[in-house]
Structure 1
Amino acid sequence: MAEIRDEAVLKAVAHPLRRRLLDTLRVDGPSMPSALARATGQAVANVSHHLRVLADAGLIEEAPELARNRKEHWWRMGDPRLSWNPADFSPEAAEAADAIGLQRQIDLIRTWLGSPASRTEPWVTSAIAADFWLLLSPEELAELGAELEALVLRYRGRAPREDRVPVFVMGRGFPARP
């Protein structure tokens, strides 16, 4: 897992388009700026700039072995898992990164709920939306998080199949009052 400890790297992640580019590389694997531009609806020059920012931050790397000629530039993620501790950063930087991440999650959920697939089989009965109220200590919450991550990682890296599509899974746990 890539642990972010540098505020400049956190700022690189805390940009909506860069988050989307990282997500696309996570799901689709290595890609060229032109394909990423099509996937995100952005200009190739804009995507290339943001890829360079992500590369300078050490979050992605070039994949020259995939190029068929000198004009092609391929990019890939190293470890697709990113982590940071908000206590390591200024409150403003941590808040900005969390806000961008939360907005990305909200956008994905809204897109899903507005799609016809969300109301038809087989996805209407397969999609999950759950929340729970638990009484936990900080240690127990950390243990729950580790167990959830281990469970989700069992499903990562499965071979493509006709019936498999990218699925966004999200979970959050934090102290709150109803």
Structure 2
Amino acid sequence: MAEIKDEAALRAVAHPLRRRLLDALRVDGPSMPSALARATGQAVANVSHHLRVLAEAGLIEPAPELARNRKEHWWRMADPRISWNPADFTPEAADAADAIGLQRQLDLIRSWVGSPASRDEPWGTSAFATDAWMRLSPEELAELGEEINALFAKYRGRPEREDREPVFVLGRGFPARP
């Protein structure tokens, strides 16, 4: 797992387009800037700039062995799992990175909710949303998080198959009041 300890790397993650680029590389694997530009609706030069920022932060790396000629520049995730501890950063930097991540999650949820695919079989009845109010200590919340991460790890990285699609799963736990 890539553990972000550097504020420049955290700032690299805290950008909407760079989050989308990381998601595309996670889901679809190595890619070229032109393909990522098409997938995100951005100019190739803009995507190339943001890929360089992610590379400087150590989050992605070149994949030269995939190039068929000297003009092709392929990129891949250095590690598909990225984490950071908010305590390692200024509150402003940690909050900004978390806000971008939350916005990305909300955007993905909004694109699903109300879409025709959300009502069609088989995904319409397979998709789920869940939440719960619990009374937990900080230690119990940490234990729950570890169990959820272990469950995610069980399903992450499964090989491609005809019946498998990219699926976004969200889990968060935090103290709150109704």
Question: TM > 0.5 between the two?
Answer: yes
SS in 2 for 1:20: helix
Secondary structure of 1:42 counterpart: coil
Residue deviations 1:57-105 (CA, integer Å, cap 9, x gap): 0000000001010000000002111111111111111111111101000
User: Residue in 2 aligned with 1:159?
Assistant: 159
Paired residue for 1:136? 136
Aligned partner of 1:29 in structure 2 is 29
Hey, what does 2:103 align to over in structure 1? Answer: 103
User: SS at the partner of 1:154?
Assistant: helix
* SS of structure 1 residue aligned to 2:155: coil
1:52 aligns with 2:79: no
Letter of the structure 2 residue corresponding to residue 105 of structure 1: Q
Question: What is the percentage of aligned positions where both structures have the same residue?
Answer: 83
Paired letter, 1:87: A
- 2:36 counterpart SS class: helix
Deviation of 1:54 (Å): 0.1
CA distance in 2, matches of 1:105, 1:143: 23
Amino acid at match of 1:44: V
* Structure 2: distance between partners of 1:69 and 1:55: 21
Instruction: Give the drift of 1:151.
Output: 0.7
Give, in whole Å, the separation in 1 of the partners of 2:24 and 2:57: 17
CA RMSD of aligned residues (A): 0.8
* TM-score normalised per structure 1: 0.98
What per-residue deviation string (whole Å, max 9, x for no partner) do you get for residues 6-41 of structure 1? 111100000000000000000000000000001100
Partner of 1:172: 172
Distance 1:87 1:57 in 2: 19
Q: CA deviation at 1:135?
A: 1.2
Q: Give 1:20's aligned residue.
A: 20
Unaligned runs of at least 5 residues, structure 1: none
SS of aligned partner of 2:156: coil
Q: Secondary structure at the match of 1:83?
A: strand
- Structure 1 ranges of 4+ moved more than 3 A: none
| 1:72 maps onto 2:75 in alignment | no
Aligned equivalents of 1:90, 1:14: Cα separation in 2:
14
Number of matched residues? Answer: 178
Superposed displacement of residue 114, structure 1: 3.1
Normalised by the length of structure 2, the TM-score is 0.98
Aligned counterpart, 1:40: 40
